[in-house]
Amino acid sequence: MESKIPKYTKGQIESKISDAVSKFEKEYMGRGPKDIKTKIIQNHVLIIIDGFLSQSEQKLADNESGIKLIKDMRTALFENAGNHLEEIISQIVNIEIVSMHSDVSTKTGEKVIVLTMEHDFEE
């Protein structure tokens, strides 16, 4: 008997992750990004978020104390809600997430999230 569960391509799953991250950013971080690109590479999910910083954060990034303030605030916000994002992505890929890392570039306005899954996605 054939399964009724739809099978998605890797590209469709990457798109679903991007959509989920965009929604997460709006709900938990206060605003949505301009663009999100997601790539699944073996047992890793790489998410690059463009247009992440607000206009006021871009102005704050003109000096070292402002950069530190932005990074500290964004890290704290992400740490507080990160478990929820891990759960969302784990449900999409149907693989347990082992770890998640994130960093923000105040120069480019990009945010990078890297997740490590329990095993290779394509196995």
Domains in the chain, CATH or no CATH each:
10-117 (3.30.980)
pLDDT of residue 6: 63
**Other Cβ atoms within 10 Å of 33 Cβ, number:** 20
Q: How many Å apart are CA 12 and CA 16, to the nearest integer?
A: 6
pTM: 0.87
pLDDT of residue 54: 83
pLDDT of residue 96: 94
- Structure-token pair, residue 57: 């954060």
**Other Cβ atoms within 10 Å of 115 Cβ, number:** 23
Q: What is the pLDDT of residues 7-48, one digit of tens each?
A: 889 999 999 999 999 999 888 777 788 999 999 999 999 999
Q: What is the pLDDT of residues 48-64, one digit of tens each?
A: 999 888 888 888 899 99
